[in-house]
Chains A and B, each alone.
Chain A
Amino acid sequence: MKFFEYLLKIDRRIIYIVMGVLVIIPLVKPLGLGVSSGPRAKTLFDAVDSIPAGKTLLLSVDFDPSSMPELYPMLAALMRHAFAKDVKVLLCGLWVTGAGLADKAVTEIPPEYGKKYGDDVVYLGWKAGIDAVILGMGENIRNVFPTDYYGHPLESLAMMQSVQRLRDIPMAVAISAGTPGYTDWLNFAQSRYGLKLGAGVTAVSAADAYPYLQTGQLTGLLAGMKGGAEYEVLIQKNEYSKAYMPAVAAMDSQSLAHVVILLLVIIGNVAYFATRKRGA
């Protein structure tokens, strides 16, 4: 019985060490568990894949560095997919702390495909106002963003000649860590302007998105790091990218982290019921 009592009082530092070790090991030496793509990721992939060459995909970067490991791989994979299909990419963001992350993607990814800023990709940046920003973009993007993130007037960018408002964009994907995020794009861009919308969300907020998937308001969903990994696998399988897959690499760590948490819950419950019986 002392054993069960001990199990009820495992020092939290031991838990932290076990967790830390099991997260680090697969990052150093991958277990190679593999990732298969689910139906939600496949739906989004097919939707992006069907955008005609020369048209524009809008990506809203609605996350900050804290959710970067989960969401940045999605952003990178979506951009790679678009560029491989000769689809132009327009980026914006509802989170001021995410502005630098979109800039990083715009700097690093287009050169892999020989794409030029202004012709194939434009980053609008961030503006205060959230819903008013989306509604304003529905009427006229230039009214909200007279210049891009780098200070170029939108009129001077070749890509923006054919993109005046949200109705000129066949599809958008909101990559969101919370609020503001995909729900704002749903409420204002999708419902009012009929913008076809996909979403990439953190694992904890995936459950909230399911009702919108069933109604068809959301076209596909990437949920958490697994969603990012699924999309990476899909673009790799279709030979759109040969780049390193950070989300796939991190899935082994996440697998072990989940297993550790579940084992701890089992240990806690077994010990709890064993000591309770004794008490009774």
Chain B
Amino acid sequence: MKRTIPLAIVLIMGITMMVQFFVPHPVSVGFYDLTTKWIRIVGAFALVLGTGSFIMFHSDKVRRRRQGWYYSIVSLIALVVTAVIGLGWGIRPGSILQNVIYASVLVPLNATMFAILAFYMASAAYRAFRARTREAALLLVAAFVVMLGMVPVGAAIWGKLPELAEWVLSVPNMAAKRAIIFGVALGGIATSLKVILGIERGWLGGGKQ
């Protein structure tokens, strides 16, 4: 039953929603409207799962004194403090959550983390970006053209460089991207059909029948 009922729900809903897409009747549209509400409500339950797994993962790390366990304490404290402030004093603009936790803690921390990337990227590119093969050399040349063409200094070096960068993005890059997108889309359709038809059951997780 644990497996049969979810499989039946997925099969019925999967086929129904596929058919619904092509039926503009008010009943069909009403049903579609209702299901989008359901999806939003069910989606909100992901918060419960996420919070649960977050607490379990970090508690386990602290208990076993794994590497960096003290950061897990900070994470757990941050979770509790943010939740308490949000639930106790509200989340509206002007609240402590917005003015202190968001504007004064999250924004600068988040921005700092991302800004550090520039330094790591410079160091990593210097150490790892080698033209060892013809393909790597081609990638290197393309990277040079795009990186210079995307900033004003590129145009200052050579006026045609931005156009060349645009061509690299519009022609070879797009051909490759399109092939990837087609592959991903076809893979997505195949996987969706396998899930709907009950061939792919990984999403059911472990456990007994």
Binding site for B on A (CB under 8 A): 10, 12, 15-16, 19-20, 23, 33-36, 38-39, 64-69, 97, 100, 103, 127-133, 135-136, 139-140, 143-144, 149-151, 203, 206-208, 210-211, 214, 223-224, 226, 251-252, 254-262, 264-265, 267-269, 272
12 A-B residue pairings within 8 Å (CB atoms): A16-B122, A33-B152, A34-B152, A103-B93, A127-B40, A128-B44, A129-B40, A144-B40, A210-B170, A258-B151, A262-B147, A265-B144
CA distance A203 to B117 in the complex (A): 14
- Looking at B29, B46, B125, B166, the one whose CB has the most chain A CB atoms below 10 A away is B125
Interfacial chain B residues near A16, Cβ < 8 Å: 119, 122-123
Closest Cβ of chain A: how far from B157's Cβ, in Å? 9
Interfacial chain B residues near A255, Cβ < 8 Å: 151-154
Question: Given the known A-B contacts A210-B174, A211-B178, A265-B125, are A35 and B40 also in contact in the complex, defined by CB atoms under 8 Å?
Answer: no
What 9 A-B pairs come out closest when comparing CB atoms?
Answer: A129-B40, A66-B114, A132-B39, A33-B152, A264-B126, A255-B153, A65-B110, A255-B151, A65-B107
Question: Given the known A-B contacts A65-B107, A150-B92, are A39 and B119 also in contact in the complex, defined by CB atoms under 8 Å?
Answer: no
Question: Given the known A-B contacts A39-B166, A143-B37, are A19 and B122 also in contact in the complex, defined by CB atoms under 8 Å?
Answer: yes
CA distance A256 to B144 in the complex (A): 14
Interfacial chain B residues near A38, Cβ < 8 Å: 162, 166
| Complex contact B150–A226 (CB within 8 A) | yes
Q: Is B67 an interface residue (CB 8 A)?
A: no
- Looking at B36, B39, B140, the one whose CB has the most chain A CB atoms below 10 A away is B36
| Complex contact A252–B93 (CB within 8 A) | no
Q: Is B27 an interface residue (CB 8 A)?
A: no
Interfacial chain A residues near B162, Cβ < 8 Å: 36, 38
| Complex contact A258–B153 (CB within 8 A) | yes
The one of B108, B122, B174 in contact with A260, judged by C-beta atoms closer than 8 angstroms, is B122
| Complex contact A19–B129 (CB within 8 A) | no
- Which A residue sits closest to B166, measured CB to CB? A38
| Complex contact A272–B173 (CB within 8 A) | no
The one of B92, B114, B155 in contact with A151, judged by C-beta atoms closer than 8 angstroms, is B92
CA distance A224 to B107 in the complex (A): 19
The one of A15, A127, A251 in contact with B126, judged by C-beta atoms closer than 8 angstroms, is A15
Binding site for A on B (CB under 8 A): 29, 32-33, 36-37, 39-40, 43-44, 46-47, 92-93, 98, 102-103, 106-108, 110-111, 113-115, 118-119, 121-123, 125-127, 129-131, 140, 143-144, 147-148, 150-156, 162, 166, 169-170, 173-174, 177-178, 181
Interfacial chain B residues near A211, Cβ < 8 Å: 174, 177-178, 181
CA distance A257 to B122 in the complex (A): 8
CA distance A128 to B110 in the complex (A): 21
| Complex contact A132–B33 (CB within 8 A) | no
Interfacial chain B residues near A64, Cβ < 8 Å: 110
Closest Cβ of chain A: how far from B170's Cβ, in Å? 6
- Which B residue sits closest to A209, measured CB to CB? B177
Interfacial chain A residues near B107, Cβ < 8 Å: 65, 68, 100
Interfacial chain A residues near B98, Cβ < 8 Å: 100, 103
- Which A residue sits closest to B136, measured CB to CB? A269
- Looking at A34, A39, A135, the one whose CB has the most chain B CB atoms below 10 A away is A135
| Complex contact B150–A258 (CB within 8 A) | yes
